[in-house]
Structure 1
Amino acid sequence: MKVSAGERLMNYVILSLFALFALFPIITILVTALRPQIGVVGGALHWENFVTAWELGNFATALTNSLLVALLVVSLALVLSILAGYAFGTMRFRGSTVLFYLFLLGLMVPAEAIVIPLFFDLRNLGLTDTIWAIALPQVAQSVAFGTFWMRAQFRALPRNLIEAAAIDGTSGLAALWRIVVPPSLPSIATVSVLMFMWTWNEFLIPLIMSPGGQWRTAPLGLAIFKGQYTSDHALLAAAGVIIAAPIIVVFLLLQRYFISGMLEGASKE
């Protein structure tokens, strides 16, 4: 169907308005972050606000903790999701449907409902105030969605690829990593970005599972910083930009695969 010039222009106008609507809060935070702090006079752009917020909030430790937790969660959850999605998407075995819906329960049970009992269980195991107490519950949450996502991806692949590999004597794991995973990289990148974003923004689990504060993550650091500098909007905005920057960087690096994976998912529906 041929699109007229007027329709194309209207599409650009509508998309531009939506883009401005989405970017307005971000631009507002950036502008606020560059304003003078309380008691500071003069100057156009105060880039030193980021340095001050970084030092006062001790964000080096918080960001390092968040990065370590996110890398652990994403790596474990991604491998488990690929393996489970491969099993549910390409194999037929007794109880597979029931077991798959059991996985989906992880999407339906909120963390708030289980975090307190889980804290006592992990405390009895001596895992509280460790990276495992923060990472393992988030791995479980991410695996539920990751399995659902990868199952849909693997089910959409041509069956003759796996059948040909089986005829050639290729084992199941070899077929997965050599034949099934390469064409699924856009979907894997998409779910990786989503897992990283969810893990980075998680607030409740690190708050409960690290009562001593040894594994204080970036959102916790920002909350404490906000409580100390409530009235200084410039510092608060600068701290918010610091915390959000890693997510933006990850998305920019993987945006091509992320968009490709989302489009593939839409085309399969």
Structure 2
Amino acid sequence: MVATTPPAQRGRPGRLTASTVLIGLTVLTLLVLAPFLVVALNAVKAPAEYAANGPLSLPGELYLRGIVDFWFRVDFGEKLWNSFLISATVAVLAVLISVLNAYAIGIGRMRGRIAFLMFFLLANLLPQEALVYPLYYLSKQVGLYNSRIAVIIIFTAIQAAFGTYLLSSVFRDFPRQLLEAAAMDGAGKWRVLWRVVVPTSWPTLSVLFTFFFIWTWNEFFLPLIFLISNDKQTVPVALGVLQGDRMMDATTTSASALLGIVPAVLFFLIFQRTLTRGVLAGAVK
């Protein structure tokens, strides 16, 4: 007679493993969110209460003076608009240029495509510090220094280099049946691009757009060099300059950090479904 394991015992190891994984992920999530929670608590805490009870204590009442003071001190609405304008423009232009380049390299199979891919790969590997002086000199020569246009051009080129390298590998494996069917219907290369390639690759393009926006939003070094006027600075630059030049109490510092984090988090939450769809589409493909 063959002994059998009871169903409850057979299912227990799997349940224990799933519970362990869930507990581990919960702990990691709390560790990631803990700094944001501390910043949020101190942003709405009075300076006297912070000095008396420390940074980990709960606020006795909501103290919004630090957030209001910081908002008007740096004209935060203007900085938000500058960051949004630069990031959105760079994301749109970089995706557009990446699509055009990758279409020529990956699907058009242009001559010297390997050399072009190596060039774009090298552009991705160059540190920003190595680009500062030549870009500074060129922007001075053409009269674009201290303008948002200069920053948009620079970051569009940087992001498009990465996008071209990534999309070229994606378009290289694009289904040839779709291209041949479109050609048999009389569609030209331009129409194939916008009616077949772009709609089919939309999940990947939406992920690229989201990453380009967030990466550009978080940039600090190059905007610090090229945007010296106060009315043209972005959010990261305004936060860094203010905290470096002026003495602020812990409440105002926490308020500045909170205001700097919230827009990027909101954008990520809004486009979270887009990122999920793009990743799942790439996995299924």
* Fold shared, TM-score > 0.5 on shorter chain: yes
Q: Does 1:147 align with 2:157?
A: no
Q: Does 1:29 align with 2:46?
A: no
Q: CA RMSD in A?
A: 2.3
Q: Please say which structure displays the higher CA radius of gyration.
A: 2
Name the structure 2 match of 1:56: 73
| Alpha-carbon distance in structure 2 between the residues aligned to 1:266 and 1:229 | 49
Deviates more, 1:26-35 or 1:2-11: 2-11
Tell me which of 57, 63, 70 is aligned to 2:87. 70
| Alpha-carbon distance in structure 2 between the residues aligned to 1:38 and 1:103 | 54
Name the structure 2 match of 1:255: 272
Deviates more, 1:204-213 or 1:137-146: 204-213
Alignment of 1:122-141 (within 5 A): 122-141=139-158
Q: Does 1:197 align with 2:214?
A: yes
| Alpha-carbon distance in structure 1 between the residues aligned to 2:279 and 2:247 | 39
TM-score (norm 2): 0.86
Name the structure 2 match of 1:187: 204
Kept in 2, the 8 Å contact 1:122–1:128? The answer is yes
Deviates more, 1:226-235 or 1:241-250: 226-235
Alignment of 1:82-231 (within 5 A): 82-231=99-248
| Alpha-carbon distance in structure 2 between the residues aligned to 1:94 and 1:38 | 68
Aligned residues: 267
Deviation, structure 1 residue 156? 3.8
Kept in 1, the 8 Å contact 2:104–2:110? The answer is no
**Deviations 1:98-131 (Å, cap 9, x if unpaired)?**
1121112221111110111211111011111111
Tell me which of 30, 36, 40 is aligned to 1:20. 30
Kept in 2, the 8 Å contact 1:32–1:234? The answer is yes
**Deviations 1:47-82 (Å, cap 9, x if unpaired)?**
343222211222122111111111221111110011
| Alpha-carbon distance in structure 1 between the residues aligned to 2:235 and 2:87 | 11
TM-score (norm 1): 0.90
